[in-house]
Amino acid sequence: MMWKWLRRLWRSSRAIHVTRADIVSGLRTMGICSGDLIQVHSSLSSFGFVEDGADTVVDALLELVAPGGTVMVPTFNHGAEYIFDVRTSPSYNGAITEAFRHRPQAVRSIHATHAYAVIGPLAVELCAGHLEAGTFGMESPLGKLAQRGGWILMLGVGMNRCTACHLGERKAGAHCISWDQEPRRIRDPQTDAVVPAKADIWRDGPCQIEWDPLERRMRERELIQDGRIGECRVMRMKAMDVIEVTCEMVRQLCPACRTMPIKAY
């Protein structure tokens, strides 16, 4: 344990120090304000050294949208959990999302592989019915967020983390993914029984949309706003813009594509 502490001390002495106030100020400059509805993809290490770690980023995000706003983060396990339990299954999407889901006010959707955690007045509504809506359906938590005009914030990660793209692929009927065909299992939080669930069977080859082509088309249309906090590159975009541009690209590029589904979980 001592060497881990020493390594962290060495890194913190060399990195840019970022505070909660820095994060709040930087995101307010980009237009995030009280009452906003945002979904956040994140990398804690991208900031440099954040004082008090992941909880500082969570506190900053909640402060930004208060009062009246709602924050959503992915708490996916990508199929790594043999049986998903909404109460105990960890997030595989980084330290910020894991700190977020542990907040007492967080509501988490029930999905075998792609659960979300949400804090704010819309949390219960957004998380409801995720199993029935499917992984990336328009009535999934992220689909509901998009339909309400919600934003996506990319904190230190690229477009390859932008899950909204998959909602566009599903909406447009991309044939390279078998939607809700992968057998999975979850633990029912009401009865504690293990029950069957479904997830998606992923593609077996390359995609002409992800990820640089999608980002390039969105930038050509000035749909991405850029910023920086410490060493962290920030991107802000409308969730529905990502979905609509992806739909357009699916209809243009997918009919001639030979990539097909294969089991990946």
The pLDDT score that the predictor gives to residue 265 is: 45
Q: pLDDT, tens digit, for every residue of 83-95? A: 999 999 999 999 9
The low-confidence residues of the chain, meaning pLDDT below 50, are 5-6, 9-10, 264-265
The pLDDT score that the predictor gives to residue 16 is: 82
The pLDDT score that the predictor gives to residue 57 is: 98
Phi, psi of 143 (to 5 degrees): -65, -40
CA–CA dist 10, 128 (Å, integer):
44
The pLDDT score that the predictor gives to residue 122 is: 98
The pLDDT score that the predictor gives to residue 263 is: 61
Residue found by looking up tokens 């804090």 in the block: 119
The pLDDT score that the predictor gives to residue 6 is: 47
* Angle made by CA atoms 214, 38, 169, in degrees to the nearest 5: 35
- Domain map of the chain by residue range? 12-256
Any residues with CB less than 8 A from the CB of 27 and at least 6 apart, and which? 60, 61, 64, 153, 227, 229, 234
Residue found by looking up tokens 């001639």 in the block: 256
CB atoms near residue 7 (< 10 Å):
10
The pLDDT score that the predictor gives to residue 262 is: 84
Query: DSSP letters along 197-251, please?
Result: EEEEEPBSS--SSTTHHHHHHHHHTT--EEEEETTEEEEEEEHHHHHHHHHHHHH
The residue type at 230: G
CA–CA dist 225, 187 (Å, integer):
40
